[in-house]
Structure formats: structure tokens, C-alpha cells
Structure 1
Amino acid sequence: MSKNISVRRAAVLGAGVMGAQIAAHLTNAGVDTVLYDLPAKDGDPNGIVTRAIANLAKLSPAPLADKALAARITPANYETGLELLQGCDLVVEAIAERMDWKQDLYRKIAPFVADHAILASNTSGLGINALADVLPEQLRHRFCGVHFFNPPRYMHLAELIPARSTDASVLAGLETFLTTTLGKGVVIAKDTPNFIGNRIGVFSMLAAMHHTEAFGLGFDTVDALTGPLIGRPKSATYRTADVVGLDTMAHVIKTMADTLPEDPWHKYFKAPKWLLGLIEKGALGQKTRAGVYTKQGKDIMVLDLEAQGYRPTAGELDPEVAALLKERDPARKFAALRASAHPQAKFLWACFRDTFHYSAYHLESIADTARDVDFAMRWGYGWSMGPFESWQAAGWKQVAEWIAEDIVSGDAMSAAALPDWVFDGREGVHSTDGSYSPSRDAKVPRSTNPVYARQRFPDPLLGEQFPQGRTVFENDGVRMWVDGADGDGDGIAVLGFKTKMHTVNDQVLDGIQEAIGIAERDFRAMVIWQPREPFSAGADLSGALGLLQAGDVKGFEAMVANFQATSQRIKYSLVPVVAAVRGLALGGGCEFQMHAAHTVFGLESYVGLVEAGVGLLPAGGGLKEFAVRASERAGDSGDVFAELKTAFESVAMAKVATSAMEAKALGLARGDDTVVFNAFELLHVAKARALAMAESGYRPPLPARRVRVAGDVGIATFKMMLVNMLEGRFISPHDYEIASRIATVMCGGEVDKDALVDEDWLIRLEREHFVALAQMPKTQERIAHMLKTGKPLRN
């Protein structure tokens, strides 16, 4: 088998929460997917699956990139639907974590699995070799574990676990599919209980639970300590347990106890009494609305073991410890944590120490390299740095000595010695040459699987740096660069913004225009791409408010005119300008991509024209583009107004699309724009697209001189909708004012229905209404409030 596997159709076995969400994400990626479960006892035999598919729309965060995709999933059951498996190229089993149930199912489906198809188990910790034992010989080399993390659409990690019999080319092909088609970060794990992510992740939670008790801290205090302050998710420790489900947590802990009897930390693999007590009461966490935390009215309450009940959350950090955690130098931070006598600092040092100790002790048995462990924790648990990165950043040798001292003094959770390689004179485990592998006793470079050639800037580990390209042009707002130290690389220039949140100010506007001039002269195409999210949070509001408050209306109008001129420069560039968008593309950022020759979106793109939220209307050419596109779609005889409705609603209500697919549905992206699932491949795909456009003799569109508009009739119809909303108190009078002006611009102004106007007319209308709104006190209040609080004001 070659490294490329073709997955036209996939099957997911098991329509529980995880199986249904894996099916949803396969469908997001354009894979025709069949979802299986047991036949329903009465009614439609596929009833269990049909209900699971319907439930996808209720889950938050949304598993489907567009709710309409639910209809694409085919429901089936194990009694009447097994023939459908014969047409599947990939079969993912995702039933409950019971070895006997999984093996029984494998025996049942084996005769129906196609000769070329891959079978993978989404187990979170059962033995892959033990599962493979029941498979017929001809299927074993096509079987492995693939462990998605929950929720599968959003969690970047997928662990691939080969069995002894798995064919290397099957593994490489599946890694390619998971990386590019599903957008995952793949880590190859060894066949050990809980693999890598859950082995280290669950241990770190058990360590935190042990030390919570040892240092007498409240659950809410621990969550305040183990969240963003140390580079971990907001859900920290106990909120994470509530989200996962306390029953699931207890089950995972029991699995560790049952399957890891020789582990030197084995005595800690038991659920605390309070946890079992909550489970007994049916307080299982978020799913039962009570666990470690519960809500009483509007108040969040936390379990207090001393009071044997819930109390309001306080989660107070000692100011001294909070200040210590703000220290930027990791070496100084860790030294201060270890030296402090405060229980909160001692708790943190103990948690880090025991996680480092556990990770180093088990590295050789669970993973090939330290890189795999660090990526598993970053991508699967949302840590900003993996355990080995944190240790290395804090000073490898010093921290190793401290851990060794604590082991000798009996302060560490286990007396197991650190492995010898920790003390071989090394400064860490990661360097530009690769990451350390104890089993090979060598630094191992990144994977040579060809799929990674698509990642020009992969997720960097501590100490890794990737060449930044040769700068062609730079000002205070932008940097334009190319690959290749000497020539122009592939003839594609890349432009990035240098401002905070990549907001758009005068330097960015002037920089874009100058860069396009350089691209037209010296290059074949240009890509607008940011090395880090977001793409752009829109216009620099503080600069705009400054001009308004100073009464400089002319200066303000000139800024808007320059914004519009920049969008037009992008649209009418003689070489293709391709936008590569991921993360936020709001306001002007959204308008820039609307004017690009093509946009390549990362799936998780949050796109919207949100100006109404700050009392304005889009004036970077966005409303003009909607009018032009509506006219083009309607042709000479269609209904222009009908083509505007979706776009009007999304702009007037400041809607933000929560995926690239939704951006298409809201009219904020074009139907033929590209959607990429792996954000690290975005630049590669955008450059390939730009090159293909250049190669095919690209010419910009001709100026839109005959735009048919909805006119006064369209404006009146939109206003009728708005009056109803105003009278029902769904919108304020100022919202009505803003939305009416949006309708006026999109419909081409107070002209006859079906009148013909040109782009300049629409641009002027946009500017006039934008400047008029900007001078209104209520709008200026909204802008000031947004700058101060980051939240919209509805006045």
C-alpha cells in the first residue's frame, strides 16, 4: 500500500457522544459517513442513530461546522446495515470502553470490511494488541488505534497507536489523512494503558488532587492556581473533572489502577473519597448540573469538604504567590516557588515536580521522544507548554537536582529514581537537531512523512526556530517577505501585519498599497497571511475615536477613504492577492478577504462585519461588495433584493460566523473559497492557490460599472422588518438608525428599484453614512465602551 490512502466513505461504529462527534467531523471534512449503533428495540431500527444525529445540533461547542451537514450522515445499525461497510475505506470503532464488547463487535463486522479498508479503534486506553488478537489474519495489518480527544472537531490531538501487526504504510497513510483532511496534530504512541495524553494528563490531575488535600486548599483556589496563570486552560483541574464527568474520571482512574499494577505511583491511582461520594449521590459534574461545582440561582458554588456542602466560590490567591507567577523568567519563577513557605506556592512546586518526575520516569515506555509527550499535552490538554518544555525552560540541571533532593527527602510522591539520562550533562531534551529518545539514546528530528512538507511553520517546540524568509519591504504596520535567502523563492510574496491583534491603522493601509505595487512589479502573486492568529480584528478604533474627539472630521473621512482605496487596490491588483484566514477576521479584516482574488480559510475562522456593535457600518468596501455580488447573482432579470437578505441580516445583527462553512452560509465568504482543516497548512495551500491563478494568466475583474440595485423599494422593505423589531423592543432606536443606513447603502441609496449604479457611487454612499454615524454621540459612546471593556454597548 502507498502512503496515500483514499477515504471516500467512512463508517463510525457507536453513536454515543464521542462516536457521533467523530462522524460529524468526518462529515465536516467532506467524507461520506455512515454512523452505526445497535438496532432500536421498537420503531425505526436506526432510531438510536437518528436521535444521536439530531442531538448534534444541541451540543456546545458545535460539532458540525454547518448544522445543515447533519443530513449528510447516513444512519445504520449492526443488524440490517452491515452491507454498507463493504463500501467504506475507513472504519472507526468508538463504542464503550469494554474489551469484550469491542472484540465481539470486531468478530461481527470482520466479514463485511473491504479488503483495502483500515479499521481503527478510538479507545482511550485499552490495549491495541489485545484488540487485534480477535481479527482475521488479513485484517490485522490494517488495524491500529486512533484516539481522538473530546470534542473531536476542536481538539488538535489525535494519538495513533500501532499494533505489532500494523503495516507501516497503513500508519503513514492514516497519519496523512488525519493531518490534512481532518486537521489533526498526530502523535504516535506506544501500546501502553491510556497511551500518552491521558497517562500524563490524568496523573497530573491525580497529583493535583493529592496535593490539594496535603496542603489544605479549597477546590476553587486550586483551579485559580492551575489555570491560565500557569499556561493551562480556564477549566484548570476540578472544572475539567466536572466537564469530563466525575464518573468518567473515576472509571479512568480505576483503569489505571487495574492495568498499571507495577507503576511506582500505583498507590495514588484511586479516586478520593469525596469523589466517590459525589458519584453515589448522582452529582456527576456538568451533565447533572452538580459536581465539584454547582449553580444556585446566578451564583457558582463550590464543594467545601469541611462544611460538607457547597459555598460561594472565592478562589482567592495569595497576592505574593500571584505576583510570583507573573515572573517572566521561568528559572526565577521555579526557584521562588520551591523556596516559598506559602502552601499555595508549595502546592504548585509539588504538582510540577511530580509531573516532571512521572513524565521522565515513563518516557521510554510510553513514547518514542519527549516531543511526543509535550505535543500530546499541548494539543490534547491545552497546556501552553508540555512538561519537558517547562522543565527545560526553568533550567534542566537545577530542576533535576531539586527533584532528586525531594525524592531522597521523601517529599516526592514516589521514591522511584529519575532515569540516568536526566543527569548525563544535558541542558534539556529539545534542540534544533530534534528531541531526545531514551530508547534510541539520541536526538530524533521531526517526522519525514511527506505530509509535513505542507507545514512551512509547524507548531514550534521550545528551542525550535524556522527560517523567517527574506524581508522585501517593511514599515511600522506590515512586513512583506519571500522564501529563499537570495532569489524570490517561488515568486509568491507573503504580507503580514505587525500591529497588536493585526488591527488596521494608517501604516497597515499604506503598507498594503505599497506591497501590492512591489508585487505587481517583482512577483507573480501575493498572499496575506499572519504567522499567529487572528487574521485581523479590524480597524484601529482608538485612532478613529481620537480623530473624532478632536473634531477632525476631514482627517477621519480621509482615513475611511484610504481604507476603501486599500480594499480596491487588493481587488484590482494585476497579480492575484490571496487572503489566508484563520481565527478572527472582523470588520476591515473581513472586508480585505472579501476583496481578495480568493480566500483560503482555516476551518476555525470567526468571520464577521461587526461594526454595528460599535455604532458604525462597514465602510471598507464590504457593503459595496454585497451590492455588486447581489447584482451579479441576480443577472439581468433576477430579484436583487432576495440576494441581499442573508447578508443584510448578518451585517445588521453583527453576526460572526463560527466556522468557514458558516461564513459561506452567511454570505461573508464566496462559495468557491477554499477551506483548510489544518491551520498549519494554510500558508502552503494559499501559496499553491496563488501560484495556480498566476500560472493560468490571472487578470483582475473588470470595474463594476453596471450594478443593478434594490433601490428605494429595497430600503423600504428592510425598514419594515426593522420597525417590527423596534416596536417589539428587540432593537434600540440607535440600532434602527444604524441598520437603516446599512440597508440604504446595500440597496444603492434612494434610487429607483433596478437602477444601474457603479462602484464609485456605492463607495461614496458607504463613506457618507459611515462618517454621519461616527459623529453621533451614541456611536462614540459605543466605541469608547468597546475600547474600555472589550464588550459591545447596546444604547
Structure 2
Amino acid sequence: MSNFIVKKVAVLGAGVMGAQIAAHCVNARVPVVLFDLPAKEGPKNGIVLRAIENLKKLNPAPLGNKDDAVLIQVANYEDHLELLKGCDLIIEAIAERMDWKHDLYKKVAPYIGENTIFASNTSGLSITALSEGFDANLKARFCGVHFFNPPRYMHLVELIPTTATRPEILDQLEGFLTTTLGKGVVRANDTPNFIANRVGIFGMLATIYEAEKFGLTYDVVDDLTGKKLGRASSGTFRTADVVGLDTMGHVIKTMQDNLANDPFFPVYKTPDVLAKLVAAGALGQKTGAGFYKKVGKDILRFDAARNDYVPAGGKADEIINRILKEKDPAKKMKALRESTNPQGQFLWAIFRDGFHYMAVHLASIADNARDIDFALRWGFGWKTGPFENWQAAGWQQIATWVQEDIDAGKALCNVPLPAWVFDGRDGVHKPEGSWSPEKKTYVPRSDLPVYQRQAFRAPLLGEGTIDGGKAGTTVFEDESVRIWHQNDDVLILSLKTKMHVIGQGVINGLYKAVAEAEQNYKGLVIWSADAAEGGAFSAGADLQSMLPVFMSGGAKAIAPEVAKLQQAHQALKYANVPVVAAVAGLALGGGAELMMHAAKRVVSIESYIGLVEVGVGLVPAGGGLKEAAVRAANDAKGNDILQFLKNYFTNAATAAVSKSALEAQKMGYLSQNDVIVFNPYELLHVAKVEARAMFDAGYRPQLPKLVPVVGRTGMATIMAQLVNMRDGGFISAHDYKLGAMIAEIVCGGDVEAGSLVSEQWLLDLERKAFVELLNNPKTQERIMGMMQTGKPVRN
């Protein structure tokens, strides 16, 4: 096999999408050059430079580490086209106008390298039409590569070939997008708006239509169509505001211009309210007003009848909430269909419209049903895809009800469901693949080499694939942990507790796993099955489970429990085989400490890591502050340790949490040798490869050594800053107390500067402070507040 390595990417167009695609390339350490028009005044690269400055301000942040903005090379179309010759991939991301794109292509075509892949990030224009005017050689290397906004966070990329695109180009690009940029790739046919926007925007238009029909306000619709349906929490209208009402208008116009023969064509009419808002310049979040507007702390919603904004906050009716909580999809769908409540009728109507639309259009827009489900899950944030929902609710029953509504004139158009829907099937997903009406068969998943890296691919209802929670061979399992392997030489420890919190069961599991791995395996990987599906690595110590111990024996009874956690973490650190923590999602408090004690960390870019104990009025006591002292001493390499310690102290004292793995590296929670993985489905594979490599290279744990500390002089320096913060009103008296205790621990206590102390000495300081705080009424207030509301109490 030949390697396809993207050594450099060019992005044409420094608008919202272009700049963020460039930022994500930099996150992934891919050199990138960002082009735009030369500025009319000021520096010639002014447009690109402003776009890069803007990247640092955007939230959610496009860059994993803001300092990396300088790595984006700036260019304009007048002076720098020569740079294109050195790029392996060029992505065009300018405004959605065919004529503008063609003008740009004429300008850049002579500079595109012989083997360069050229792609357009259009959200819906015809890729074939875009390639008109290219010579045959360039046509063979041109395709659509449609990222979703925001590109760093949305998993979906649609890959759209033309009939002229060489198949190996798509395979190479799919490998690069999957592993290097961490994406979920869906191949779409070259039809208007491809898959996700075609089905997703139809869904939004149908929702607007049905909401008007049933007289529901935008806030109520958003409450009904968000988390309660397992979709993005922003619902329908808030999502439109985030996307931009002008952008949504463009996507709708693409449908109007190109789908005149579609039986659903009347639904593609631009909704009056959308036209009205766009005309008024209310384009959603970017202009501060759209379907919603924020005034001070109040959220207002647009009222079309009054042509003005009124207070928002409408919610679903209680009876509908109860229906939506029903676990059985078949019962839920039946209850919605039979409901006399307008909200229930509305929900059945939007489900029916969606099922009708997808069944009619599946053959033309996608290769098979799986591609539609993944497109909506990964591009629109749905927990389960539309075909999965239909199949789960009882295929034939739903099909019958949808057809009855079509016959009764209740549907959005009178085209019947296709014959294949009624051929006796019980769904479209089976273990052998997903249904393709075009091919009249079940199509298996792609077997490209890149997917060998995903031991557990994104699960799909009805496929019956083994998931990471049940796969492999179990060595030991109880309600807290599962210790297992994939019939090879690496042992895996998976946490099973809620949010993977650490209680006595998990501590026992850590000891058990280390002992088993030392005896029979090359290494131990700590990984949990829901890592890729937005789970947590570990949200920290299980405070709830400590409550009975505290109630019966007071704070001093907790001390031995804390000691057990500390010793379990030390057992990981000094295990005789490499322990690799495979981290994705939250690693907070004890979860961060667990990870810090592994021999190595393999971390998903979307990892949020921090020692957050001060939020519950405690100090880290699972070895996190001990590690801070050890790491600062190592970082200093004989220089002034305090300069290195301040960073670790501040992060713990302010409960700072990294917004990415790259930021966690900057904060000192990850080292430069730890591996950052972009595709969470590849986490387990990479962690096992690392564990094996370390073992094969003759791994030995480090020998315990004494730690030089800054002692009472260092404490005095930090305390001076804390006094200023307290007296300036930046921190509360209790925060000051917590800060002082953290300072004492990381500085090694009341000893001379430069003293050498053992790790155990530092652990004892942690434990003593933790137990003392448990008796403090202010800490007890914070713990109770967190348990009751899940939010930190400021006291």
C-alpha cells in the first residue's frame, strides 16, 4: 500500500467556514495556508489577518490552543498563487455562488499541482456543475468535501464525487479526514444540498409549517424538538439562529432552484417569517437577533403576528413530557399519534413528514439508509438517526400509519411510500448492512484500511454489532468495572459507574487490573465503551458513596478511604507493565488524577481536563497536587521551581478546566509525549499500540525518588498573591482558605526551600487537608449544593 500524506493544505476563502477549517488543520498539525482577496486598504493580507484574529474570539473555540493561530500562513490571490503548487489538498470555501466559484477556479487552476486533490466545501451546489471547464486531469481530482459548522466539533464531513472523480482520490481523502481530522465521513450523491442539509432543512421547513398549522410558538417548538427528541439541545429555531438565517435561506434557495420536479417542492417555499427577518437584517446569532433576541439577561422570541419580540420561555405541556419519557419507541409513537393535544399532533406530524420524505428520496440522495442516519447524527447532533427511529418504533406499523395519513390528505404531499417499504421487512438496518433501494440489497460498511483502526465503529440500531461494553473476553466484571481483552496481549479496564466516578469498587478494580496485567499481559489500557459517544473518562471521586461513611464515622473515617485512592493511583504509576489512560470527554478531579498517574496518556482532542475540587470546597487528594509538585520539579531541571509551580497551583486553585487536549498540554496535565487523537473511535487502537510499543521497548517504571520542594518561602510568595485577591474581592474567604491549603501542599509544607521530600509526604499533606475541610461548614454547604443542583455554590 502507498502512503497518502497531506503535507500541506490550502484553504481558499477566509470566511466563517474557511478560517475554521484552516484552524482545525492547525489543531491536527497539518500545515495550512489561508487565502482571500487582497484588501483594498491597509496590509494586502488584511482580510485573512482579521479572520485569524477573529478565530481567537469565537466560542466554541475553533483552535484547540489559541497560540496556534500564528501557524496559519496568510496569502492573497494576487501575490501568492505560487504557494498552491506545494499543496496536496486545496479546499475552496467561498460564498455559495456558482459564478464566483468559477471565476476563482479560472484564477487558481494553472497553479494546482499535478497530483493535488481539489475540493469544494459547498453546502449544496452541484459538484458536477462546479467542475465544468476543468480539463479531464483536474476533473478526475475534483470532488465535494462538505464540513459542518463548527468544523472542529461537528463529526460529519460529506464526500461528494462526480462521475469523473477517480475512486482512489476519495479513498485517500476519506482516510485523511477520518484519522487526521477526526471526522465521520458519509459519501453523498451529487444532488442539491447532498444528504444532511437536504433532509435536515426539509425537516426544519416541515417543522415551521406544522408549528404554524398547530399554532405553536418558537420557544415551545424548540423545547419539544431538542433534547426531548434526542436532538441538538438548541431545537429547531435556535439552531436556525446559530446557523444564520441568511445561510438557511441560501440552502432553501438551492432547493427551489434545482428541485422543481420534487413532489415536496411546495414545502421548499421560503417561510414568510424567515423572509421577513432576513429583510430586517435579523440574521440570527451573528446579528444579535433572529427568531430570538437577547435583551440584557432576558431571552425574547419573535412574534410574527405582532411583528415584534415578546418574552420567551414557553415549554412543552406536562402530558407531552410524560409521553416523551416513555422508553418504548413503539408506545411513544402510538401515544403521539393518538394524542388530542396540539403538541402531540405536531410531533407525530413532523415524524410522519420526515419518514415520508426519506423513504421517497432515499434512492436518489444516498447509497443506503445508513448514510442518512449518520449524516443527521453527525451533522445535526441527533442521538439516533431517522431510519433508526422508524425501525425502533415498529417498521410496518409506522409505514401503515404514514400511508393512511398520505391517503387522508394529511401529509405534505400525496406521493405514496415506495413499494420496498411494504415488502414485509422489519427495517432497513441488518447485521449484513443497510438497505439500498437503488441496488436492491443490503450494503455492508466500508472496509477501507482506515476502519481497521476502529475496533468499535459508531453503533447502528439493527446492525447487532458487538459494542465495546460486551465485546472481547471478560476476565472479571462487577457493577463498577469490567476487566477484559480482545484476545490479544493488552488488558483493558472499563469503568461502568455513572459518569465513571471512582468509588471503592473502581479502586478495587484498579488493583485487580494492575495485578492481572503484570502477570499475563504486555500492558493495561483504561478505556470505557462510551468514550467515542460523548461519554466521560471519569467525572471524579464518587462523593455520594462516601456519604454513609461520613455519616457513621465523621471526617476521620474518610481518611482511610482517601489513602486507598492515593495508593491505587501510586500502584498505576509504579506498575511493572505500562498503563495507558485512553481519555475522551470529561476527566475531572479524581478522573484527572487517575489519568495523571498512568505511564502515558492517549487523549481525544475533545477532552476537558482539570482538578475541580475547590468547586465542592475540597482540595485534590488523589495525588494530583503531589504530581503537580513532582512535575514542577522535573520541569525546572534545576532552575527556580516556583516559576513552574505557579501554573499548576493556579489551575488547581481556580478549578480551571482545559477546553481541549491541546490546552491541557499547555496547562501541564498532559506532557509533550502524550498522544492526541482526533477521531475518538480510534482511541482504543492507538492506546493499545502505545502500550505494546512501550512494553516491547523494555518498559520499566521509574524508581521512586525524593522531590525538591519550595517550602515555606514558596508558600509566602503564593500567599501574598492570595491576600491581594481576597482583599480585592476576587475570591471569597473560603476560596482563600482553599488556596492557602493547596499552596501548602504543592510547596511541600512548612520546610526549608530546597528540602527533599518523599511522594508519601506530599500525599499525607493532601489527605490531612482533605479531611480537615470535610469538617468545615462552608465545604459541607458546597458539597450539598453540588449534590442537589449539580452547580457549584459560591460561598
Identify whether the pair has TM-score above 0.5, normalized to the shorter chain. yes
Name the SS of the counterpart of 1:34 in structure 2.
Answer: strand
**Distance in 2 (alpha carbons) for counterparts of 1:429 and 1:661:** 40
Which residue in the other structure is 2:159 paired with?
Answer: 160
Q: How does 1:562-577 map to 2 (within 5 A)?
A: 562-577=564-579
Which residue identity lines up with residue 686 of structure 2 in the other structure? V
Which residue in the other structure is 1:410 paired with?
Answer: 409
Give 2:485's match in structure 1, choosing from 482, 487, 499.
482
Do residues 348 (structure 1) and 350 (structure 2) align? Answer: no
Matched-pair contact (CA < 8 Å) for 1:3–1:170: no
Q: How does 1:18-167 map to 2 (within 5 A)?
A: 18-167=17-166
Do residues 625 (structure 1) and 611 (structure 2) align? Answer: no
**Distance in 2 (alpha carbons) for counterparts of 1:126 and 1:3:** 33
Which residue in the other structure is 1:580 paired with?
Answer: 582
How many residue pairs are counted as aligned between the two chains? 787
- Map Cα deviations across residues 508-539 of structure 1 (whole Å, 9 max, x no partner): 10111111111111111110001111000000
Name the SS of the counterpart of 2:558 in structure 1.
Answer: helix
Which residue in the other structure is 1:400 paired with?
Answer: 399
Which residue identity lines up with residue 793 of structure 1 in the other structure? V
**Distance in 1 (alpha carbons) for counterparts of 2:227 and 2:209:** 21
Give 1:470's match in structure 2, choosing from 467, 470, 473.
473
Which residue identity lines up with residue 222 of structure 1 in the other structure? V
Which residue identity lines up with residue 598 of structure 2 in the other structure? A
Matched-pair contact (CA < 8 Å) for 1:193–1:256: yes
- Give the Å deviation of 1:630: 1.6
Matched-pair contact (CA < 8 Å) for 1:110–1:136: no
**Distance in 1 (alpha carbons) for counterparts of 2:699 and 2:782:** 43
Matched-pair contact (CA < 8 Å) for 1:603–1:675: yes
TM-score, length basis structure 1: 0.98
**Distance in 2 (alpha carbons) for counterparts of 1:670 and 1:767:** 26
**Distance in 1 (alpha carbons) for counterparts of 2:70 and 2:196:** 33
Which residue in the other structure is 2:516 paired with?
Answer: 518
**Distance in 2 (alpha carbons) for counterparts of 1:290 and 1:349:** 30
Q: Which range moved further: 563-572 or 237-246?
A: 237-246
Do residues 717 (structure 1) and 720 (structure 2) align? Answer: no
Which residue in the other structure is 1:452 paired with?
Answer: 451
Matched-pair contact (CA < 8 Å) for 2:608–2:661: yes
Matched-pair contact (CA < 8 Å) for 2:367–2:438: yes
Do residues 610 (structure 1) and 588 (structure 2) align? Answer: no
Matched-pair contact (CA < 8 Å) for 1:3–1:173: no
* Structure 2: stretches of 5+ with no match in the other structure: none
**Distance in 1 (alpha carbons) for counterparts of 2:60 and 2:556:** 45
Matched-pair contact (CA < 8 Å) for 1:284–1:290: yes
Name the SS of the counterpart of 2:41 in structure 1.
Answer: coil
Which residue in the other structure is 2:732 paired with?
Answer: 732
**Distance in 1 (alpha carbons) for counterparts of 2:272 and 2:115:** 49
**Distance in 2 (alpha carbons) for counterparts of 1:657 and 1:348:** 39
**Distance in 2 (alpha carbons) for counterparts of 1:3 and 1:63:** 32
**Distance in 2 (alpha carbons) for counterparts of 1:544 and 1:659:** 30
- Map Cα deviations across residues 54-95 of structure 1 (whole Å, 9 max, x no partner): 000111100000001100000100000111111111100000
Name the SS of the counterpart of 1:119 in structure 2.
Answer: strand
Give 1:594's match in structure 2, choosing from 571, 591, 596.
596
Which residue identity lines up with residue 182 of structure 1 in the other structure? L
Matched-pair contact (CA < 8 Å) for 2:556–2:771: no
Name the SS of the counterpart of 2:34 in structure 1.
Answer: strand
- Map Cα deviations across residues 431-470 of structure 1 (whole Å, 9 max, x no partner): 1111001111111111011101111111101023216111
- Map Cα deviations across residues 607-652 of structure 1 (whole Å, 9 max, x no partner): 00001111111111111111112222223x3111111111111100
Q: How does 1:205-220 map to 2 (within 5 A)?
A: 205-220=204-219
Do residues 645 (structure 1) and 626 (structure 2) align? Answer: no
Name the SS of the counterpart of 2:764 in structure 1.
Answer: helix
Q: How does 1:263-412 map to 2 (within 5 A)?
A: 263-412=262-411
- Give the Å deviation of 1:3: 6.5
Which residue identity lines up with residue 758 of structure 1 in the other structure? S
**Distance in 2 (alpha carbons) for counterparts of 1:737 and 1:218:** 49
Which residue in the other structure is 2:673 paired with?
Answer: 672
**Distance in 2 (alpha carbons) for counterparts of 1:523 and 1:151:** 41
**Distance in 1 (alpha carbons) for counterparts of 2:106 and 2:728:** 61
- Map Cα deviations across residues 219-258 of structure 1 (whole Å, 9 max, x no partner): 1111111111111111111111111112222221111111
Name the SS of the counterpart of 1:463 in structure 2.
Answer: coil
Q: Which range moved further: 771-780 or 394-403?
A: 771-780
Which residue in the other structure is 1:693 paired with?
Answer: 694
Matched-pair contact (CA < 8 Å) for 2:555–2:774: no
Which residue identity lines up with residue 686 of structure 1 in the other structure? A
- Give the Å deviation of 1:478: 1.0
Matched-pair contact (CA < 8 Å) for 2:205–2:271: no
- Map Cα deviations across residues 271-301 of structure 1 (whole Å, 9 max, x no partner): 1222211222221211111111112332111
**Distance in 2 (alpha carbons) for counterparts of 1:81 and 1:546:** 68
Which residue in the other structure is 1:236 paired with?
Answer: 235
Matched-pair contact (CA < 8 Å) for 1:11–1:91: yes
Matched-pair contact (CA < 8 Å) for 1:242–1:291: yes
Matched-pair contact (CA < 8 Å) for 2:207–2:350: yes
**Distance in 2 (alpha carbons) for counterparts of 1:74 and 1:770:** 49
Matched-pair contact (CA < 8 Å) for 1:545–1:783: no
Name the SS of the counterpart of 1:235 in structure 2.
Answer: coil
**Distance change in 2, residues 1:51/1:308 (3 Å):** closer
**Distance in 2 (alpha carbons) for counterparts of 1:415 and 1:288:** 39
Matched-pair contact (CA < 8 Å) for 2:525–2:581: yes
Which residue identity lines up with residue 781 of structure 1 in the other structure? E
**Distance in 2 (alpha carbons) for counterparts of 1:400 and 1:46:** 57
Q: Which range moved further: 759-768 or 9-18?
A: 759-768
Name the SS of the counterpart of 2:115 in structure 1.
Answer: coil
Which residue in the other structure is 2:526 paired with?
Answer: 528
**Distance change in 2, residues 1:67/1:458 (3 Å):** same
Which residue identity lines up with residue 482 of structure 2 in the other structure? R
Do residues 681 (structure 1) and 712 (structure 2) align? Answer: no
Which residue identity lines up with residue 665 of structure 2 in the other structure? K
TM-score, length basis structure 2: 0.98
Which residue identity lines up with residue 52 of structure 1 in the other structure? A
Which residue identity lines up with residue 256 of structure 1 in the other structure? M
Q: Which range moved further: 596-605 or 541-550?
A: 541-550
- Give the Å deviation of 1:710: 0.9
Matched-pair contact (CA < 8 Å) for 1:516–1:570: yes
Name the SS of the counterpart of 2:669 in structure 1.
Answer: coil
* Structure 1: stretches of 5+ with no match in the other structure: 484-488
Give 2:562's match in structure 1, choosing from 560, 563, 570.
560
RMSD: 1.1
Q: Which range moved further: 578-587 or 263-272?
A: 263-272
Which residue in the other structure is 1:486 paired with?
Answer: none
Q: Which range moved further: 419-428 or 307-316?
A: 307-316
Matched-pair contact (CA < 8 Å) for 1:3–1:172: no
- Give the Å deviation of 1:552: 2.9
**Distance in 2 (alpha carbons) for counterparts of 1:308 and 1:663:** 47
Do residues 259 (structure 1) and 261 (structure 2) align? Answer: no
Q: Which range moved further: 282-291 or 358-367?
A: 282-291
Q: How does 1:423-462 map to 2 (within 5 A)?
A: 423-462=422-461
Matched-pair contact (CA < 8 Å) for 2:225–2:235: yes
**Distance in 2 (alpha carbons) for counterparts of 1:631 and 1:41:** 53
Matched-pair contact (CA < 8 Å) for 2:612–2:657: yes
Which residue in the other structure is 2:497 paired with?
Answer: 499
Matched-pair contact (CA < 8 Å) for 1:294–1:302: yes
Identity across the alignment (%): 57
Q: Which range moved further: 557-566 or 513-522?
A: 513-522
Name the SS of the counterpart of 2:748 in structure 1.
Answer: coil
- Map Cα deviations across residues 471-502 of structure 1 (whole Å, 9 max, x no partner): 1012332110011xxxxx22101001111110
**Distance in 1 (alpha carbons) for counterparts of 2:644 and 2:325:** 52
**Distance in 1 (alpha carbons) for counterparts of 2:220 and 2:3:** 49
Name the SS of the counterpart of 2:216 in structure 1.
Answer: coil
**Distance in 1 (alpha carbons) for counterparts of 2:653 and 2:409:** 64
Which residue identity lines up with residue 359 of structure 2 in the other structure? A
Matched-pair contact (CA < 8 Å) for 2:370–2:434: yes
